[in-house]
């Protein structure tokens, strides 16, 4: 572990130059103004810790426990001052430009959410419309919603813990999408989140596209374990995982799912649960699962689990394309044309999918405590979109137990989460999760994995 022990000061360069005294006080350590310092510190550390191979939030925070960051208010505006930052963020003593930009994205989003969303009575975060409105305003404030743009933002989901062959294939996917002028949005971290962006930079360069978009969407609970990769040129920190997921499907126009683990399966269940809602039956939303030949068994296992849990016709909502990156890009381009035609016919914005119906079960933040997880209903006789919502919560809990600070602490104190449900679904889920462990999809390869869950069939 290498640190820059000198105190570094940087200026905003064109945005966030001015903060109120209240806003500055909220970002101070031990603030009496309902401070946001802890969230701000961990998100800033994650940005500075680019290139880290550690996916344990607790370990990252422990290694840099002496890292400090301060907002310094001056007559001419603000500066950021920090010390004991990761040395990898600097070149010849100078902070890397992309990291500087991302640091101010963190500041922008933490301040905006605290003061303009959470403290604003105009945002009713207890209703579905209010939550969607908040998501829209956060994305608009981050300038991620581009008026007049075409439907060209492809969301790429996939794991941070993938092998070299899968990573190389993710770059091929990005390259083929980039050649067709499509932009990339991911969870902003390493692995399958970085690969499509890296490939797209080459595709865009060949087509002389100089304004390619590489959008990263993250949230405070996961960012320390999945630091933003250096290709991200538009970063947004959403308040929680549910608003992050809604941002993907509201701002994105189609989704490519690459190999991953429990986090990726959570994302798959999220979008399937939304598409299973009868109110969304007519809305085109291209969804493609893809990977190299070596990932065929991985996608077959997920496909079988979906068929057992959610029904055979759910499989019609997505395509599985193995080892053919150009076909993926062609199918996605065709799907985006359907999206364009539908949005135009229904007078819906290209930059934000207002028509898509998202139930509150997919929007309400789920707190993965042992009690909440034990209460989850996993029954085959439930409406499918509600079952998908609860299965998504199961995988969200496992993600928390694997890499999030609060989840790791809860497991250490109380033992594994107990997950109850229909015996057939639990058996299929057990098979799927064991395959993830065997394929080293739970943690960074080489890291010993101890299950944070126990499956109990009813």
* CATH code of the domain containing 87: 3.30.1850.10
Clarify whether residues 376 and 340 are in a common domain: no
Task: With respect to residue 130, please indicate whether it lies within any of the assigned structural domains.
Answer: no
Nearest CA among 311, 324, 312, 256 for reference residue 285: 256
101 and 151 housed in the same domain: no
Same domain for 141 and 283: yes
Half-sphere exposure of 261 (CA within 13 A, CB side): 25
The predicted structure's pLDDT at residue 391: 95
Does the pTM exceed 0.75?
yes
CATH number at residue 163: 3.40.50.450
The answer to whether residues 59 and 199 belong to one domain is no
61: Cβ–Cβ under 8 A, 6 or more apart, which residues? 42, 45, 224, 405
The reply to whether 352 and 366 lie within a common domain is no
In a domain, 169, yes or no: yes
- Residue 426 in any domain: the answer is yes
Comparing C-alpha atoms, which of 436, 407, 44 is closest to residue 218? 44
C-alpha closest to that of 80 among 107, 56, 120: 107
Residues 367 and 327 in one domain: no
pLDDT digits (tens, 9 = 90+) for 79-103: 888 888 888 889 988 889 998 889 8
How do residues 9-25 score in pLDDT, each as one tens digit? 887 665 555 667 777 77
pLDDT at residue 145 in the model: 95
Per-residue pLDDT reduced to its tens digit, 335-391: 999 999 999 999 999 999 999 999 998 999 899 899 999 999 999 899 998 999 999
Residues 45, 267: Cα–Cα separation, whole Å:
25
Do both 102 and 248 map to the same domain? Answer: no
The answer as to whether 125 is a domain residue is no
- DSSP letter, residue 207: T
Per mean pLDDT, which range of 53-67, 227-241, 373-387, 440-454 is the poorest? 53-67
Q: Is residue 127 included in any domain, yes or no?
A: no
d(CA 228, CA 46): 7
Task: Provide the residue range defining the domain that includes 399.
Answer: 362-457
Task: Please report whether residue 314 resides in a domain.
Answer: yes
Q: What span, in angstroms and rounded, lies between the C-alpha atoms of 175 and 198?
A: 8
Same domain, 448 and 383: yes
Last residue of a domain, one of 65, 96, 120: 120
Number of domains in the chain: 3
């Amino acid at each position: 572990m290498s640190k820059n022990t000198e105190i570094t000061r940087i200026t905003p360069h064109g945005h966030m130059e001015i903060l109120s005294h209240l806003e500055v006080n909220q970002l101070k350590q031990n603030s009496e103004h309902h401070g946001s310092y802890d969230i701000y510190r961990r998100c800033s550390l994650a940005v500075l810790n680019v290139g880290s191979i550690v996916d344990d939030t607790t370990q990252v925070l422990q290694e840099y426990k002496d890292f400090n960051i301060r907002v310094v208010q001056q007559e001419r505006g603000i500066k950021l001052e920090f010390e004991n930052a990761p040395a990898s963020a600097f070149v010849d003593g100078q902070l890397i430009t992309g990291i500087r930009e991302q640091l101010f994205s963190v500041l922008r989003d933490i301040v905006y959410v605290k003061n303009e969303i959470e403290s604003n009575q105009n945002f009713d975060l207890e209703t579905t419309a209010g939550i969607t409105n908040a998501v829209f305003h956060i994305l608009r404030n981050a300038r991620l919603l581009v008026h007049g743009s075409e439907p060209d933002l492809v969301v790429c989901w996939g794991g941070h813990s993938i092998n070299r062959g899968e990573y190389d294939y993710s770059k091929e996917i990005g390259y083929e999408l980039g050649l067709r002028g499509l932009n990339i949005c991911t969870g902003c971290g390493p692995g399958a989140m970085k690969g499509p962006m890296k490939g797209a930079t080459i595709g865009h360069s060949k087509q002389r596209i100089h304004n390619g978009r590489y959008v990263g969407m993250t949230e405070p609970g996961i960012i320390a374990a999945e630091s933003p990769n250096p290709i991200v040129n538009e970063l947004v920190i959403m308040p929680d995982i549910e608003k992050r997921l809604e941002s993907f499907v509201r701002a994105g126009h189609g989704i490519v799912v690459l190999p991953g683990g429990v986090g990726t399966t959570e994302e798959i269940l999220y979008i399937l649960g939304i598409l299973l809602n009868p109110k969304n039956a007519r809305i085109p939303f291209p969804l493609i699962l893809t990977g190299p030949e070596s990932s065929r068994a991985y996608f077959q296992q997920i496909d079988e689990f979906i068929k057992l849990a959610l029904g055979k016709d759910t499989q019609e909502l997505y395509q599985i394309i193995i080892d053919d990156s150009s076909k993926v890009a062609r199918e996605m381009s065709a799907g985006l044309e359907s999206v364009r035609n539908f949005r135009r016919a229904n007078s819906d914005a290209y930059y934000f999918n207002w028509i898509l119906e998202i139930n509150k079960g997919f929007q309400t933040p789920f707190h993965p405590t042992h009690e909440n997880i034990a209460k989850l209903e996993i029954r085959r006789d439930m409406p499918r979109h509600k079952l998908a919502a609860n299965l998504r919560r199961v995988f969200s809990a496992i993600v928390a137990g694997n890499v999030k600070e609060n989840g790791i602490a809860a497991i250490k104190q109380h033992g594994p989460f107990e997950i109850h449900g229909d015996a057939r679904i639990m058996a299929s889920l057990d098979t799927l999760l064991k395959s993830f462990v065997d394929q080293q999809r739970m943690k960074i390869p080489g890291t010993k994995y101890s299950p944070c869950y126990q499956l109990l069939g009813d």
